[in-house]
Structures are given as structure tokens and as C-alpha cells.
Amino acid sequence: MDASSLPAALELVSGGGAGLSPEKRAVLGSSLLLLQRDYRFERVWFWGCIQGVCGAYYIAQGLGPDRAAPRSRLYSLNCVEWSLLPPVTEEMVTQAGRLKGRFQGDPSFEYEYTERNAEDAERLFEDGKEPMIKEEARLVATIEQIDRAVGIVPRGAFVKTPLGSVSENRNFEGLSLTEAKRLSSYFHFTEPVDLKNKTLLEKADLDPSTDFLDSLEHDIPQGSWTVQLEKGGTVVVLRSLLWLGLTFYHVPMTKQYGYVYFGNGEKNLDLPFML
Amino acid sequence: ERGHGPYQPHEPGYGLYQPGYTPYDDQIPDPKSQMLAIQNAKAYLLKCSTTSGLNLYDHLANMLTKILDEQPTNAVDIIENISKDVKWAQFQKKMDTLRNEHEILPTFEAAEKRKALFLKANGEGDEELEEEIGETPLPNVMETAFYFEQAGIGLSKDESYHIFLALKKLISVQPIQTCRFWGKILGLEMNYIIAEVQYHEGEEEEETEEEAVTEEGGKGVGEVEDEEEEKEKEDEPPKSTYKPPPVIPKEENGTGANKYVYFVCNEPGKPWVKLPPVTPAQIVCARKIKKFFTGRLDAPVVSFPPFPGNEANYLRAQIARISAGTQISPIGFYQFAEEEDEEEEVDGGRDTYEENPDFQPLSVAEMVDSLSAWVHNVQSILKQGRCVWLNPLQKTEEEEENEEEEKAEEPDELPQELQQEIGPPLLTPLSEDEGIQNIPAWTAQPSTNLIPQYAVAVLQSNRWPGAYAFASGKKFDNIYFGWGHKYSPENHAPALPPPVQAEYPSGPEITETRDPTVEEELAFKAAREEALATAEEEEDEEGAEEDEEEDD
């Protein structure tokens, strides 16, 4: 969620019971602003909080002029001092995907591999030492996975300029109530995977400036999003069941929207059994 | 007529044919055909668009009129915007005779219900006001919410206040002695808000409906038995020798897992629904399945092993498990009531406690540092599904009488000796809780490191993510916000179906034997013929002897 709308947004997202203490809320207002100054971000998003066993990580993201470019990610243990996370690589993501269990809460903690397959064994012989992965790398890989899988925005909120860069749509007035209850009105805010598979007939109806992302309709498994109206029907809240803790809110017919993650940082692999 | 040249910049030949220099210009156009061409062009421009009802001719005319009227600077740069503006202006002039019906959004109804919470019931006089100010079972939800908010846990203040008022409504309707906001469980379509309640002693509505059902069921069984006796004379297929394991009876209301009664509602403002008491079978099954709640209490729970009940029962079972695992209090707050006759054997530990009037609260630092400063104040549930172990094979007097009446058709089976299950007794400290792999069962933190004088000690459960507890001075509380599932680092593996049962006991009369081969048969035949031949020879000899005797 955007740092400027943090207080109001936290009120709307608190239906799940998770939120921030008044101390953190107070300090975030200023520390995120300072982040924007120091790193020269155009926008700063408060991404959320990953609970570890001993402590919690608070994550912020900074965006440049092209909102679809890879984002800089920062973490903090107390919302006051922020540290930049290393940019994520595919290797990090695959390594982190193999780790199971909770985050520890200590960024320098090193995980040992418990599963060995043929590739790791070969690498062992080459390096001569066990492959370890640091919690920092796991953290950034998890954030990237979550963003890729369940980071969503409403349709029409972002436009793609003819030059290819993505920016916010100033004419976005918000989704109507009926539109807001449909999954097809929300897009994944990452590189689209499904677009090129659409038939020509479907593509003819799309508007290339706003429909350049994948919608939520075809997410696997079906039913991995819950759409609810909260606060007496004034806020539409989408919760992801694949990554438990990701909450997206939108007030229909207004420009307010955003998503935040409050959770363990673990994928819910039991989802097919639970539906 | 002139052919249609390339119009787009990317088409080949664009820009080559300037007006007056096209390849067709040497043909002097016939004035008549030129007029015709002009008319055709104008007709084309006047063609109405199928989607918007406008036509290009009028639109261009309006646009040029507007430009000439307003005379903007750099008109050529903003020509598209002007065109759009003219189009928008067009739409507004359209008068539709149909008027839109004022939309009644569902949000209005919801707002109506929420407003009803804030209205005072009619007919409340001053007397009732005095009653309310006295001791009331209504918990101070806002105070609890404040403490939890220091740790970053909790709903928004609006929602907390609505829940506060909804609880007040619940108390005014039901005869309740103690009431607590237990927490919120999220679901797919709707969420559940749960209140934990204890009735006044003796005022609990007895569930007479259930008793009636069992009586009728008993009569039904008797009739069936008579019919069976008649049928015995006819041939019947073999009866199954399967005996279902004995049903473990649920605990009495007010004890064990059913100590508290739970009310749920989907949103504050909607009516509260009472959840049925939980049975051990439901708890045992709930441990094996992992399903999301839909938000409708009557939804079926489709799972394997099949859950005995619908979503209301599954919800109640999960609430029982969560309470048993995560309801804690600071050590010393509760103590066992000192009874005079302590010689009584208390199977399964004591289950009642009372508040300790001499409670001295520990400092926040101490509460956070060591987990032994906290104790469980709800009995843990045994493997059987109850808090107090019951031997299901122990026959009560009634059951023995019934057995004598029934025919002794069943073969005598040795009842298997069941081991008595013992769980940790009430008020055990949290340091005894086993963690999962190498994660401790609880994470303790102070709410703030900056202002330790006013910090609140907060505990989060790692086994039931979403269960929190706080303590500050003499105040403490527990709450749950989550999806209602236990944490397991390993993936959920559903129970496998049981092995295929044996259809019949295998014995020599049913087992097939191999048919003899041709050689074996021939050999057998040859051996038999030999035996016959020797027998005949013997008979002939005997016959010959007899003949000889007769001759004499």
C-alpha cells in the first residue's frame, strides 16, 4: 500500500486481525518519507510484515518512474532503520522454494539444506563446502514470489504508455461495486504469462493501454481468492488463500486500493485439500 | 473515379501522389461525375455510426464551430481533445425518457443493520439503566482491543465497537453469567465472530430434543429385532460380523470440552447463533482434516475421513481445540479451589479453578523472559477427544440389563484393554509445551522496546497461528484472529483409506485346489484298474472256491 495512505489503509485491512501497533504506525509515517528522500524513489509502498520466530521483518518497496520495473526492497526489524535487500535472482528463488519452516527473525541466520539432489551433490564436490542460504536471500526471494503470485491491482489503475513504461492512471475513478466483486477486474502486477495465450477474439476486446496484465480469473487452483465486502459493504477485501496473510482492499468508486502482507512467509501448499 | 490511394504512413506509396499529381489527373473529370463523387463523399461522411449514432459530417461541423468560437491556442496540437470534448457534449444533450431506478445497493441494507445496533431498545426505563451500571457480564471489548492494539493485533476500532454492541445485545437476550469476545475466524464467503459464554447455573436450556430422538431410536431397534426373529426361519445371507467401535459419549455441558457455550455471528448486527456442544468423535476427526470455513453454518464438510456433522460442528470442534491449546493466563492468577475432602480420587485432574485474591502480578520483563510465568487455564483434550478419560468398554448398569434381554447372538469377544489416557493437568506452565521441530510453542515479546514502563507482554502461539495473549499488570486476555487451522511445517497428508477387508475366512472348503493334469488322471485311472483287477481275481478265486464247495 502506498505510504501516503498508510493510516487509512491499515484501518481497512484490519479485518484479518493483523495490523501495526501505534508506535510502528507513527514511526512509519516519517521513516518511509525519509526513505523516499534517501533513495530518490518516486513512490514508496509499505509491503507488509513477515513474522519470524524471534522477530518480525517489516518490508518496504520503492518504485521508480516505470512502475513495472524491478523494485528495490528494503527491510527493517523495527521500522526505524531500513536496509536494502539484494536484488533477487532466479537461483535465489528456486533455492528458497526448497526451504520449509518458519523464518527465524535474524537476517544473518543460515539455513542448511536438508534435501540433497543430484545437482547439489555435484556442486558439493566442486565447492567442497555445504551450500547454505542466508535468511536475507530467503526473505527477498519470498517477497518476490509473493509479489509475482498474488500482488494485485485493480483494472484500470495502471496504464501502459506507448513507449512501454507503466504509470498510474490519473483518470482511474475506482471500480464500481459490481465490477469490484468480480475476479476479472483485478490484475497481477507482474510480467503477464497468460496474455499471449488468449485467443484473437478475446484480445480484440482488450484495451492495450489498460489490459496488459493477467487477470485473476484463471488462477490455479480456482477459488484461491476470497472476495468479501467488509465494513457494511463499503470495502471490498480480497484475501489470498495461497499465501495466507495477503490482503488486498479497494473502496469502490474511489481511488483507494492497495495490498499488504501480514503473515509467516510460507506458501499454503495444502490449499487443494482445504477448499 | 479516382482509386483509393494509400492512406496510412506505413503503406507503400504513401506521400507519392500529391493532389494534382496523381496518375489519374490527366483524365479531366467529367463535371457530372465530379458532382457525383462529391455527393458520394458527402453521403459517406453523413453515414451514421452504428455504435454512437453520430456521423462524421456533423461532428466535424461541430468541432470546427467550436474551434472558431473559442479560438484556442495551438489548436492543431489539441485537436483530439477538442474532438473528445465535442463528443462528450453530444452525449449529455441526449434526453432519455427512461429514468434510472434509484439503485438500492446491498450496502444500504448492511448499514441499516449496523445502525440498529446503536439504537436503544424501546421501553427502557431508568431502572434498567441502574442494572446495567452494576455488575454486568459484558466484557470491556474496547479495553482489550486497546491492549492488543499495542502489539499490533486486532480489528479496527469501528469493528471492535460494533462487536461490543453486538455482545451487549446477546447478553440482553440470553441468561448469561460470563461473556468474552473469543475472536474472529475468517472464512471463504463470510467470517465468523465468536463469543464465549457461560450460562447462569441452572438456567441452561436442556436439550430435550436430543433425548426424544434417542428414545425413538431405541423403540425402532426393538421392532426390527422382532422382524428379524421371524425371518430367521428363512435363509438369509450371512450377517456381517463387523462391530463398530463403541461411541464415546460427549462430555456434559459445563464440563471438559463443553465447559463454555459459543455463539457466532457473521457480522455485528446479524443475529447470534448458538453452536452445538462438541462430541469426541468430532474432535478426533477434526484433527485429521484441514478445511477452510465457508461462512455458512449449515454448509457440509466434505472430507475424508468423513466429518460427522456440518460446518457448525467443525467450527465448534476447532474452537475447542484452539481453546484447549492456547488459552493461557499469568501464573498465580487462578488457583485451585481448596476442597476439604482432598482424598477423593480425581480421575483426570481437577477441572475447576477460582481467581486468586492474593494475585501479585509479575513485571512485564519477567512475563516476557520466561514462559513458565504463564499457565494454561483450559483443560487439554486427550487423544480420545474428551478432557476426562472415559473407558468406553466399561458397561454401565443399564447396558448390562439390555444385554441380558437381547439374544446372545454375538460370539463372546474379549474386550481390549484400553490404556487410560492422561493429559497435562490444568494450570501447567507454558514451558512444558512442546514446540514444533525446533520452534518453541510460543513467542513472547514486549509491545514496545522504547517505553518499557508501559509495555504490555504479548505472546503469540506458533502452534496455532493467530492465537495471542497479553498481560499487563492485573489485566490479561486471550484472543484468536485467523483461519482456524493448526500450524504444521509438513504438508497435510490426508488419511489413507483403510485396507481392503477380507470378504470371507479362507478355509479348506472354500479354497480351490488345482485340477489334476491329464498324466495324473491317467496314472490314477491305471492304478484304479489295477486295484479292480486284483480285486476281481480275488473274487474269481473265491467264486471258484464256492463253486467247488457247492459241487460237493
**Contact (CB, 8 A) for B61 and B69:** no
The three-state DSSP-derived secondary structure of B304-341 is: CCCCCCEHHHHHHHHHHHHHHHHCEEECCCEECCCCCC
Residue of B nearest to A263 (CA): B465
The grid coordinates of residue B281 equal 468423535
How far is B492 from chain A, CA to nearest CA, in Å? 6
The answer to whether A21 contacts B151, with C-beta atoms less than 8 Å apart, is: yes
Chain B touched by A12 (CB under 8 Å): yes
Chain B touched by A93 (CB under 8 Å): no
Check residue B123 and give its pLDDT: 45
Measured CA to CA in angstroms, residue A11 lies from A225, A244, A253, B160, B436 at distances of 21, 19, 18, 12, 33
DSSP 8-class letter at B124: -
Nearest C-alpha neighbor of A142 from the set A201, A205, A73 = A73
The sign of the dihedral angle between the CA atoms of B124, B128, B132, B137 is negative
Residue B419 backbone phi and psi in degrees, to 5: -75, 140
Tell me how far the alpha carbon of residue B160 is from its chain's centroid: 23
Residue of A nearest to B154 (CA): A17
Q: Of B187 and B439, which is predicted with more confidence? A: B187
Measured CA to CA, the distance from residue A228 to residue B37 in angstroms comes to 61
Q: Side-chain half-sphere of B456: how many Cα atoms within 13 Å?
A: 26
3-state SS assignment for residue B129: helix
Q: Of A61 and B509, which is predicted with more confidence? A: A61
Mean pLDDT along residues B201-215: 48
Amino acid identity of residue B348, one-letter, is G
Check residue B305 and give its pLDDT: 86
Residue whose grid cell is 452504428: B50
Residues of A in contact with B462 (CB under 8 A): 53, 102
The answer to whether A270 contacts B190, with C-beta atoms less than 8 Å apart, is: no
**Contact (CB, 8 A) for B270 and B114:** no
**Contact (CB, 8 A) for A110 and A132:** yes
Check residue B397 and give its pLDDT: 44
How far is A239 from chain B, CA to nearest CA, in Å? 9
The grid coordinates of residue B32 equal 457530372
Going along B221-307, which residue ranges are E strands? 261-265, 273-274
How far is A69 from chain B, CA to nearest CA, in Å? 30
The answer to whether B152 contacts A16, with C-beta atoms less than 8 Å apart, is: no
The percent helix, strand, coil of chain A (3-state, each to 5) is 35, 25, 40
Chain A touched by B114 (CB under 8 Å): yes
Check residue B20 and give its pLDDT: 62
The three-state DSSP-derived secondary structure of A209-226 is: CCCCCCEHHHCCCCCCEE
Check residue A47 and give its pLDDT: 92
Measured CA to CA in angstroms, residue A6 lies from A3, A244, A256, A257, B504 at distances of 5, 21, 11, 11, 70
How far is B153 from chain A, CA to nearest CA, in Å? 5
pLDDT(A16) > 90: no
Chain B touched by A81 (CB under 8 Å): no
Chain A touched by B112 (CB under 8 Å): no
The three-state DSSP-derived secondary structure of B135-198 is: CCCCCCHHHHHHHHHHCCECCCHHHHHHHHHHHHHHHHHCCEEEEEEEEEECCCCCCEEEEEEE
Chain B touched by A130 (CB under 8 Å): no
Check residue B274 and give its pLDDT: 92
Selected residues 220-249 of chain A with any CB under 8 Å from a CB in chain B: 223, 226, 228-229, 231-234, 239, 241, 244
Q: Which of A127-136, B275-284, B345-354: highest mean pLDDT?
A: B275-284
The grid coordinates of residue B416 equal 481390549
Mean pLDDT along residues B25-37: 71
Q: Which of B139-153, B244-258, B388-402: highest mean pLDDT?
A: B139-153
Check residue B220 and give its pLDDT: 41
Phi/psi-derived region of residue B276, left when phi > 0, alpha when psi is between -120 and 50, beta in every other case: beta
Chain B touched by A275 (CB under 8 Å): yes
What tens digit of pLDDT does each residue of B290-339 get?
899 998 999 898 888 889 889 999 999 999 999 988 888 888 888 776 65
How far is A149 from chain B, CA to nearest CA, in Å? 19
| DSSP character string of A154-189 | ETTSEEE-TTS-EEE-TT-----HHHHTSGGGEEES
Check residue A259 and give its pLDDT: 92
Which of A85-94, B48-57, B472-481, B524-533 has the least mean pLDDT?
B48-57
Residues of B in contact with A12 (CB under 8 A): 156
| DSSP character string of B195-211 | EEEEEPTT-SPP-HHHH
Check residue B320 and give its pLDDT: 92
pLDDT(A59) > 90: yes
Chain A touched by B496 (CB under 8 Å): no
Exposed/middle/buried for A8, CB within 10 Å: 0-12, 13-18, 19+?
middle
Measured CA to CA, the distance from residue B152 to residue A51 in angstroms comes to 12
Which of B86-95, B342-351, B499-508 has the least mean pLDDT?
B342-351
Tell me how far the alpha carbon of residue B258 is from its chain's centroid: 20
Task: Give the mean pLDDT of chain A.
Answer: 85
Task: Give the mean pLDDT of chain B.
Answer: 76
Residue of B nearest to A178 (CA): B105
What tens digit of pLDDT does each residue of A88-132 get?
889 888 888 888 888 888 888 887 765 555 454 555 545 444 567
What tens digit of pLDDT does each residue of A139-169 get?
999 999 999 888 899 998 888 888 888 888 8
Measured CA to CA, the distance from residue B298 to residue B283 in angstroms comes to 18
| DSSP character string of B1-28 | -------STTSTTTTTS-TT-STTTTSP
Check residue B91 and give its pLDDT: 60
Check residue B445 and give its pLDDT: 85
The answer to whether B448 contacts A51, with C-beta atoms less than 8 Å apart, is: no
**Contact (CB, 8 A) for B384 and B280:** yes
How far is B482 from chain A, CA to nearest CA, in Å? 7
DSSP 8-class letter at A233: T
Which of A207-216, B209-218, B353-362 has the least mean pLDDT?
B209-218
Residues of B in contact with A14 (CB under 8 A): 154-156, 159
Strands B176-185 and B475-482, sheet pairing: parallel
Chain A touched by B189 (CB under 8 Å): yes
How does residue A4 score in pLDDT terms, banded at 50, 70 and 90?
confident
Which of A33-37, A178-182, A247-251, B224-228 has the least mean pLDDT?
B224-228
The answer to whether A232 contacts B105, with C-beta atoms less than 8 Å apart, is: no
Residue of A nearest to B495 (CA): A273
Q: Please count the other Cβ atoms lying within 10 Å of the Cβ belonging to residue A233.
A: 19
Q: Nearest CB to B447: which of A16, A21, A51? A: A21
Nearest C-alpha neighbor of B481 from the set A151, A51, A77 = A51
Task: Give the Cα-Cα-Cα angle A18, A19, A23 (nearest 5 degrees).
Answer: 145
Mean pLDDT along residues B457-471: 89
Chain A touched by B187 (CB under 8 Å): yes
**Contact (CB, 8 A) for A6 and A46:** yes
Q: Nearest CB to B437: which of A54, A101, A233? A: A101
Selected residues 249-308 of chain B with any CB under 8 Å from a CB in chain A: 267, 290-292
Which of B61-75, B115-129, B472-486, B497-511 has the least mean pLDDT?
B115-129
Chain A touched by B453 (CB under 8 Å): no
Measured CA to CA, the distance from residue A18 to residue B152 in angstroms comes to 7
Residues of B in contact with A19 (CB under 8 A): 149, 152-154
Percent of chain B exceeding pLDDT 90 equals 9
| DSSP character string of B393-435 | TSPPHHHHHHHHHS---SPP-PPPPPPPP--PPTT-BGGGS--
Q: Cis before residue A86, ω within 30 degrees of 0?
A: no
Chain A touched by B439 (CB under 8 Å): yes
How far is A194 from chain B, CA to nearest CA, in Å? 26
How far is A225 from chain B, CA to nearest CA, in Å? 8
The answer to whether B155 contacts A23, with C-beta atoms less than 8 Å apart, is: no
Chain B touched by A7 (CB under 8 Å): no
| DSSP character string of A75-112 | EESSSSS-EEPPPP-HHHHHHHHH--S-B-S-TT-EEE
Chain B touched by A31 (CB under 8 Å): no
Indicate which of A228, A249, A261 best probes the interface with B, i.e. most B CBs within 10 Å of its own CB.
Answer: A228
Q: Which of A43-52, A208-217, B425-434: highest mean pLDDT?
A: A43-52
What tens digit of pLDDT does each residue of B381-397 get?
888 778 777 776 665 44
How does residue B542 score in pLDDT terms, banded at 50, 70 and 90?
low
Indicate which of B155, B304, B451, B458 best probes the interface with A, i.e. most A CBs within 10 Å of its own CB.
Answer: B155
The answer to whether A17 contacts B154, with C-beta atoms less than 8 Å apart, is: yes
